[in-house]
Amino acid sequence: MAQLDSLMRQNFIDYASYSILDRAIPDVRDGLKPVQRRILHTLFEMHDGRYHKVANTIGETMKLHPHGDASIGSALVVLANKDYFIDKQGNYGSVLTGHPAAAARYIECRLTPLALATIFNTDLTDFVDSYDGRSREPVFLPAKLPVALMLGTEGIAVGMATRILPHNLVELWQAQIACLREEPFALFPDFPQGGQMDASEYADGFGKVEIRAKIEAAGDKCIVIREVPYGTTSESLIASIEAAVQKGRVKVASIDDFTTDTIEIELKLPRGVTSDEVIPQLYAYTDCGLSVSSNMVLIRGDRPVQTTVSEVLVGHTAQLREQIRAEFELEQRRITDRKHWLTLEQLFVEKRVYKKIEKAKTEKAVKSAVASGMKEHAALFIRQMVDADIKRLLELRIRRISLFDIEQNRGEIEECDHRLAEIDKLLSDLTGTTIDYLEGLIERFGGEYPRRTQHTSFEVIEKKAVAQQTIKLMYDRESGFFGTAVKSGNREMRVSEFDLVLAITDDGVYRIMTPPEKLLLSGKLLYLEVFDPEVGLEFIVIYRDLQKNAFGKRVHVHKFIRNREYRLVKEKAGKVDLLLTKGEGGTLMLDYVRAPRQRIRSGKFDLAKLVPMGVSARGVRLAPKPVSKLRLVPKKAPRSKPKPGKGSGGKSSESSSGQGVGRQTSLF
């Protein structure tokens, strides 16, 4: 077991490291996953200006990629649909509709001018052996673009994942220019599907963005969706709308999809519904409104790191600056070498050094004659002459020497001097040179990459505010059942899935609940309405205990646990006689239980004297004696005896001990 544990630990670490470093997470230097890097390198090696069959490209890439053709083909299609590096021909599917690409044997591809201009430089690329040792592949490509930020990518490895949102290429270039000028900059995502975006919580790649479809109201009874959110397609969006319609959350009569190379989904609305009502519901309940989180994890220095958009851009800008320096220094060395050779060739011919080899009999003597002859003019050398230079001079043909054009040679040397002076000037102001390079890219390619996603701010749409009251609840007085499964009864109410319902019965039990399927209430229903937990509800409760002592209290219901029973009156302590909501009140007239030698037979109590107290409190005793009957004289009402059943909200204004009418009733 110990050996197995050790073996599993070692193998799992190897597998996890391979999955993270060589498959799922892109490298911060070129922003590419290994399979993407191998595809682009293969296309560069195959590049001849013409299209190549994707099947052939996949086969060539398999020389570098050990995971088969399926992963290469899917990665190539995804990369091509980004429209940056691969010029595609044929059916590559659609990111708008979700349709798949045609088979690899039917579609073709080649590198775009942008890729050829910014991604490759063999002289600045480090190569390693491929997985089988038969080929060489780049460690990373010397990309001059912030590829990870412009493409966006997702990857799931062992124990970690990355999600980088795509950004607009021109804005990335402009941000790099601002970075070089030490000016502030801010970057926000830009999605190929378009749509609208609220990036107020993007937090430089650590947060999230809210994205919405572009929806237009074509009148009161028609809605047209023009653009879809990132990560969705026209088909998935329609499926989410249909699901919301089936659940009663959105009312739509018909859906027509006219999408081609642009999104056009038409929604027809039924009677009694307008587009102003439905559009917020689409954002709240369908994929027309989504939240996308960003989690930027990249490989840096052979290990994964969590980073931000600004850090990646600043790092890549510094890398771009050094790459431009390296390219100019490489060109400088090449021009210097060319000037050195032109100078040697000029001296060799003009000074007739070649004449000195006529008397030499051996190869060694010939080389010695050239070396000694050229040494006389060493002061004119660009750099010290080496054996390779001597060998090259000896390879000059007689025709070349006899037809040597001195003026042309001097002109070429002057061109070298002019270009070397230019390079020295460019290197002396490397920051300005880098800015000029980026501005050149914007001028050359900027028109091809406009911003597609509109950056705006959204008003928060609360689902509760736009919810349809489609849930039907019934209460049956005879059986005492209440809920959606009760098919008939004395009271019907319609609520939404977010509403809470407050039910109070005459035994003092109340419950704040989500719409139940079928619930047996413990007593006769006194109150049943939708409850707002943010406001709560204030009641005046009048009840008599078993000895007919009358009590009253003013309570505020606001703290609760859903679907849990609470009591306004302690168990077996009596029943509620009167239940008044906020705003109701008056004077309570009390008739005492008759007793021998009783002189005072009635009393009254002003309900305004009741002070707020806890729900579980017993309350204030309203009379010094047991009460047989009580009645309410409403505020500003005549002091005549009200007729039974005329209380506000269906509440009884009179209660007696011997009749069922006297107890507080509800709206039923």
Catalytic residues: 106
For residue 51 the two structure tokens come to 């299209």
Distance of CA 330 to the CA centre of its chain: 42
Residue 208 has φ and ψ, to the nearest 5°, of -145, 165
**Complete DSSP assignment for 409-458:** HHHHHHHHHHHHHHHHHHHHTHHHHHHHHHHHHHHHHGGG----SEE---
Question: Which amino acid is located at 662 in the chain?
Answer: G
For residue 141 the two structure tokens come to 């490509």
For residue 83 the two structure tokens come to 């429209």
| Residue 209 three-state SS | strand
Q: Burial, 327: exposed, middle or buried (Cβ in 10 Å; 0-12, 13-18, 19+)?
A: middle
Rounded CA separation 327/431 (Å): 14
Alpha-carbon torsion angle 652, 657, 660, 664, nearest 10: 30
Distance of CA 357 to the CA centre of its chain: 76
Strands 222-227, 265-268: pairing kind: antiparallel
Beta bridge partners of 631: 589, 654
Rounded CA separation 631/531 (Å): 28
For residue 295 the two structure tokens come to 């989690």
Q: Which residues make Cβ contacts (< 8 Å) with residue 188, sequence separation at least 6?
A: 167, 171, 197, 199, 202, 209, 455
Would you say 653 and 638 are in contact if contact means Cβ atoms under 8 Å apart? Answer: no
Would you say 141 and 159 are in contact if contact means Cβ atoms under 8 Å apart? Answer: no
Would you say 373 and 385 are in contact if contact means Cβ atoms under 8 Å apart? Answer: no
